Amino acid sequence: MGIGTILGCSACNKEYMFNEDGTLSAKSGVTEFSHVPTWHEWQRDEVRKEILSGTYHFEHEVAIDSLPNSKGYHRVGYGTLTHTVDGFKVVGKSHNGEEFTLTKAPLDHYSIHVEYNYFGRGDGISLSYAQDSYFIFSHDPQYIVTKAHFAVEEIHKYLKEREAKRF
């Protein structure tokens, strides 16, 4: 979470100041991460540990928008986004009550596009297909798209490494 020049961790409630010279300093206590890249690599390592231990699970209630062409977004409906080592699954319901499911296998992509409070829609994850792109938004502060971004990359690497060891 962040407001202005203050960055905070909702897990440990520690707050950092983002300084004019690009460094970080703890508002109180020890400064564990003095630079944003160091903090990001620590986050990535923590996500990888969850993946390797089998505990990674990301699930949230979301709003689902479609961007089928350059003419703009339209709200498809609402549902639940789940991300695990098995990939993404979105189970939703459209405005007319029709149920739908979107899936994306983990080896179908090695990264994802994320947005932070995109035009007031909330934080978002984009899942692209041949005929459409879906943007999955939430205002829930626990919907940490950076974690999902790291997880997609780390799951892809993990599965590729595992596959290479089999041969």
Residues 165 and 119: their CA atoms lie apart, in Å, by 44
Could you give all domains of the chain from N- to C-terminal order, each with its CATH number? 2-53 (no CATH), 58-166 (2.30.29.30)
Q: How many angstroms separate the CA atoms of 44 and 51, rounded?
A: 11
Query: Residue 112's pLDDT is what?
Result: 96
pLDDT in tens, 80-117: 999 999 999 999 999 999 999 999 999 999 999 999 99
Query: What is the average pLDDT across 40-50?
Result: 94
Say if residue 41's pLDDT is above 80. Answer: yes
Q: HSE (CB half, 13 Å, CA atoms) of 78? A: 5
Give pLDDT, residue 115: 95
Q: What is the mean pLDDT of residues 123-131?
A: 94
- Which secondary structure element, helix H or strand E, spans residue 64, and what is its range? strand 58-66
pLDDT digits (tens, 9 = 90+) for 49-81: 999 999 999 999 999 999 988 888 999 999 999
The edge-to-edge listing of strands for the beta sheet with 99-104 is: 99-104, 87-94, 74-84, 58-66, 133-138, 123-128, 113-115
| Mean pLDDT computed over 148-154 | 97
Average pLDDT over residues 130-150: 93
Q: What angle do the packed helices 36-53 and 145-166 form, to 10 degrees? A: 50
pLDDT band at 1 (very low <50, low <70, confident <90, very high): low
